[in-house]
C-alpha cells in the first residue's frame, strides 16, 4: 500500500498521467495531494498500481473521497475525458513518454507518434489545474531539439491556445510568441513555467540520474516564482560526500566495510577536501541504499550459491532474488558501492547492461593481475534497484523481472518527485494565503 503523506498540507488534489509503476504518483501523494484520477496504459504497470494503491475506476466518472484508493483508468490517455474534473485539481502530474527525445530513442522528436506532450496540454485545457509538473530526459535540451523544447515551454505557458491539426508546430509557435507579448485577458488561462535541470543525486537519491523537471503555476495565483526556484535548489553534493569520506564520518556510518575496500576508495580521492562553502549534505551511495535509507533496514546479502533466479525470501524482503551471468567488460562497467548508482534504465529488453551490475566487497576467488575491478560482481536484485529509485520496500512490483526493471527504469525517483511536489504545495499555500 502507498504510504500516507507525512504532513497533509490541505485537502489538495491531483491527477496523474503516464503513471507507470507509480513513482511520481506516490511522490505527489506523499506530498499531500489526493489523487482523483490515475492513468496508465501498460498492463504490468497497471497491475503494480492496483497491487498497491489503485482501484479500476470503470466507466463511471467517480470523484473519490479522502481515504479512498486511487481511481485508475487503464488504457490510452487519448481516450480519457477529464472534463468532469474541471477546476477541481490542484496538481496535474506526469512524465510524457520520452523515447522521442532520449539519446537511446529513435530521435524523431516532435514527429514521433509517441510524443505525448499534446495530451498533457489537452488535459490542462480540460482541468485548468493550479499547477503542473512534468519529468523528462535531458535529451529535450539537445541542440537538435532545443527549438522544439522552447516551443513546448511556450505551449505550456498558453495551453488554451490550441494548435489546429493542419498547423505546423513552427506556425503555432509564432502565434504563441505574439500572444505572450500581449497582456493576458484571463490569467487563469496562462501559466508561469520553471524548468530545472536536476541530478537526482543532488536531492538525496542514491543514483546519478540527469533529468529535467518542468513546473507550471497558473498565473492568476500570483506564485512567487523566484522563491520557488530557491526552494528547489539542490540539497546534496558530491563534494560533501568526498569530505565525509576524508573526515571519516562516512566510514563511521559503514563500520563493516573491509579495510582493503576502504583503502581502494580513499586512494582515488583528492588529498585536499573540497571547499566547504555550502551547507549541502553528502550524496547518498549505493551502500547507503542497501543499508537502508531513513527507516529502512539493511538488505540481506545474496549468497553466491543462490544466483539461480529463485525467491528465497531473504530477510523477508520480496523481489530480492539472485540473478546469474553478470559480466564486466569495456563499456559495461559496474555500480560501485561507495558511489551513487548509475542511472537505472528501462532497457529495450527490460534488464539493461552494466547499469544493473553490482561490484561487491568480496575479493575475486582467484586474483587476476591488473584487474580493473578485483572484486566479485553480480546483477542487482529488483529490490536493490527499487531502493536506488527510493521506492519503499512495501511497494509491490508486478510482472517478471524484466517488466519490474522496466517499470523502475521508467519511473521518477520517489524522493525526487516528493521534494518538488512539496515545494509546489508550499508555493500554492503561500500564494493562496496572501490577502
Residue 146: how many CA atoms within 13 Å on its side-chain side? 4
* List of residues 6+ apart from 151 with CB closer than 8 A: 169, 170, 172, 173, 176
Verify whether residue 98 is a known catalytic residue. yes
What pLDDT is stored for residue 112 in this prediction?
65
The full length of the chain comes to: 435
Q: What is the reported pLDDT for 41? A: 95
- Considering only CA atoms, which of 379, 412, 410, 427 is closest in space to residue 45? 410
Residue 97 confidence (pLDDT): 77
User: Looking at residue 338, what is its pLDDT?
Assistant: 98
Please give the model's pTM, rounded to 2 decimal places. Answer: 0.93
User: What is the per-residue pLDDT for 100?
Assistant: 58
Angle between helices 414-432 and 23-30 in degrees, nearest 10: 40
Residue with cell 488535459: 123
Backbone angles phi, psi at 221, to 5 degrees: -80, -20
Contacts of 32 (CB under 8 A, 6+ apart): 5, 7, 8, 9, 10, 12, 421, 422, 425
Other Cβ atoms less than 10 A from the Cβ of 412: the count is 32
Three cell numbers at 296? 529502512
Q: Among the options 46, 98, 134, 157, which is catalytic?
A: 98
Residue 366 is predicted with a pLDDT of: 81
pLDDT tens-digit profile, the chain (435 residues): 445 444 545 789 999 999 999 999 999 999 999 999 999 999 999 999 999 999 999 888 989 999 999 999 999 999 999 999 999 999 999 988 765 555 454 445 555 667 889 999 999 999 999 999 999 989 889 888 888 899 999 999 999 999 998 998 899 999 999 999 999 899 999 999 999 999 999 999 999 999 999 999 999 999 999 999 999 999 999 999 999 999 999 999 999 999 999 999 999 999 888 886 678 999 999 999 999 998 899 999 999 999 999 887 777 888 999 999 998 888 888 999 999 999 998 864 445 556 789 999 999 988 777 677 889 999 999 999 999 999 999 999 999 999 999 999 999 999 999 999 999 999 999 999 987
Cα–Cα distance, 177 to 32 (Å, whole number)? 35
Domains of the chain by start residue, with CATH = 12-235+410-432 (3.40.50.150), 237-279 (no CATH), 286-409 (3.90.120)
Q: Using CA atoms, how far apart are residues 85 and 16, in angstroms rounded to an integer?
A: 13
Q: What is the pLDDT of residue 273?
A: 80
Amino acid at each position: 500500500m502507498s504510504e500516507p503523506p507525512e504532513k497533509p498540507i490541505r485537502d489538495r488534489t491531483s491527477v496523474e498521467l503516464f503513471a507507470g509503476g507509480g513513482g511520481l504518483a506516490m511522490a505527489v501523494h506523499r506530498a499531500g495531494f489526493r489523487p482523483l484520477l490515475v492513468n496508465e496504459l501498460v498492463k504490468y504497470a497497471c497491475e503494480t498500481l492496483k497491487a498497491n494503491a489503485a482501484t479500476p475506476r470503470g466507466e463511471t466518472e467517480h470523484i473519490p473521497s479522502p481515504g479512498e484508493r486511487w481511481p485508475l483508468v487503464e488504457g490510452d490517455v487519448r481516450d480519457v475525458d477529464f472534463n468532469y474534473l474541471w477546476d477541481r485539481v490542484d496538481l496535474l502530474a506526469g512524465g510524457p513518454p520520452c523515447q522521442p527525445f532520449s539519446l537511446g530513442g529513435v530521435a524523431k522528436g516532435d514527429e514521433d507518434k509517441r510524443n505525448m506532450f499534446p495530451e498533457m496540454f489537452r488535459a490542462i485545457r480540460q482541468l485548468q489545474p493550479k499547477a503542473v509538473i512534468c519529468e523528462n530526459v535531458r535529451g529535450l535540451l539537445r541542440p537538435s531539439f532545443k527549438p522544439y523544447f522552447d516551443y513546448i515551454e511556450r505551449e505550456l505557458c498558453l495551453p488554451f491556445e490550441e494548435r489546429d491539426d493542419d498547423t505546423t508546430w513552427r506556425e503555432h509557435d509564432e502565434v504563441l510568441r505574439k500572444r505572450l507579448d500581449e497582456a493576458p485577458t484571463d490569467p487563469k488561462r496562462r501559466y508561469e513555467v520553471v524548468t530545472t535541470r536536476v541530478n537526482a543525486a543532488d536531492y538525496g537519491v542514491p543514483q546519478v540520474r540527469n533529468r529535467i523537471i518542468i513546473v507550471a503555476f497558473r498565473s492568476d495565483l500570483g506564485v512567487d516564482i523566484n522563491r520557488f526556484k530557491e526552494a528547489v535548489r539542490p540539497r546534496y553534493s558530491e563534494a560533501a560526500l568526498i569530505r565525509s569520506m576524508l573526515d571519516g564520518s562516512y566510514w563511521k556510518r559503514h563500520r563493516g566495510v573491509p579495510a582493503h575496500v576502504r583503502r581502494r576508495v580513499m586512494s582515488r580521492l583528492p588529498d585536499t577536501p573540497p571547499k566547504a562553502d555550502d551547507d549541502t549534505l553528502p550524496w547518498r551511495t549505493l551502500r547507503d541504499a542497501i543499508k537502508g535509507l531513513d527507516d529502512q533496514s539493511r538488505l540481506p546479502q545474496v549468497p553466491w550459491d543462490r544466483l539461480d533466479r529463485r525467491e528465497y525470501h531473504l530477510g523477508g524482503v520480496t523481489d530480492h532474488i539472485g540473478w546469474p551471468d553478470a559480466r564486466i567488460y569495456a563499456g559495461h562497467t559496474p555500480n560501485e558501492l561507495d558511489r551513487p548508482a548509475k542511472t537505472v534504465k528501462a532497457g529495450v529488453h527490460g534488464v539493461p547492461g552494466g547499469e544493473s551490475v553490482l561490484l561487491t566487497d568480496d575479493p575475486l576467488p582467484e586474483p587476476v593481475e591488473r584487474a580493473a575491478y578485483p572484486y566479485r560482481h553480480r546483477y542487482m536484485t529488483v529490490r536493490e534497484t527499487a531502493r536506488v529509485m527510493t521506492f519503499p520496500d512495501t511497494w509491490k512490483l508486478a510482472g517478471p523481472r524484466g517488466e519490474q526493471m522496466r517499470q523502475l527504469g521508467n519511473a521518477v525517483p520517489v524522493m525526487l518527485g516528493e521534494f518538488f511536489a512539496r515545494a509546489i504545495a508550499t508555493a500554492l499555500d503561500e500564494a493562496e494565503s496572501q490577502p
